[in-house]
Amino acid sequence: MGVQFSQIIPPSAPLTEANVPSQKGKTFIGTGGYSGVGLELSRLLYNAGGHVYIAGRNQASAEKAIEEIMSTSKVPTSEQGRLEFLLLDLGDLSSIKASADQLVKKGVAVDVLFNNAGRGNVAPNSFSAQGLEVQVATNVLGAYLFTKLLEPCLTADRNADASPARVIWTASQIVDLLVPAGGHIMAHLTSPVEEQMKDLNACYTMSKLGNWYLATEYGRRHNSSSDNAVFSIAQNPGGLRSNFFRAYTALYAGLSQELSIERHQGVYVIPWGRIHPAPREDLLAAVKSEAEGGTGEAAKLWDWCEEMTKQYQ
């Protein structure tokens, strides 16, 4: 219980607005970047000089957030970054390619993609545009598809001394607390949608587990020795205090130089910026392949996501 308690009341954040290095010349994408944790992360990155694409489905909300961030910034103008809106609806798989293509066709080199957006606490019978349970559709399939379509921007040429791009996947402490023993995600995902919707809390829990699985599997497929190396990290932003504090966890996952792709590919970061010291043994087995002695649940999820999204790629 010590690890769980320390996620509720964490130690001090190692990376904050007080010591974050300049992000001038770097480009970030934050899905859901105009509300909650995403808004505060956008603020932190902008004030550090980063070029931030605030991605979401509500342009009016994004423009309001951009105006608020810029008007309240207390850093000198020369140190401020740039904010842009990117239309993105993760709940409609058919629309995601057009959003990613806006950046791919411009040849944008993305330094960090924060998969921050997610649906939770939804009303009963909330379906995605494709008729799927909306939390799983948005949090898992939408994040998977957008990340895959954005790969040319994540693997684009950078300076010789630049680190690989990072992808940050947003999980939750409920992965530790509420996921059933074994973390067998596929039995839930492949059941009829009507059956899934009988327990919407389970749908949300499984979607957050899915984000951790995708982080580990993406890292396995984009390791440091591959031509398409990308640093993949899962994070639990935390459940208490303000969104501003919770953004510190994502900031650490996205920017900390304590983390390296060679030693930390696929790690799970917890509040307010530290590697999870003791993930559940059954879930560690689930993210290992069967060849490694695991259950291969993460790979099964990856294959399911590929099958479910291939017509939209």
Closest CA to 301 of 290, 312, 291, 287: 287
Among the listed residues 204, 213, 252, 268, the single catalytic one is 204
Among the listed residues 26, 208, 288, 300, the single catalytic one is 208
208 catalytically annotated:
yes
- Residues ≥6 apart with Cβ < 8 Å to 150: 29, 100, 103, 104, 110, 113
26 catalytically annotated:
no
Distance CA 253, CA 232 (A): 9
Task: Using the Cα atoms of residue 86, residue 90, residue 95 and residue 101 in order, give the sign of their dihedral.
Answer: positive
Pairing mode of beta strands 166-170, 231-235: parallel
Instruction: State the alpha helices, DSSP H only, in the chain.
Output: 2-8, 36-47, 59-72, 93-104, 134-136, 143-149, 151-154, 174-177, 186-189, 193-196, 200-221, 243-255, 261-264, 281-287, 297-309
Active-site positions? 204, 208
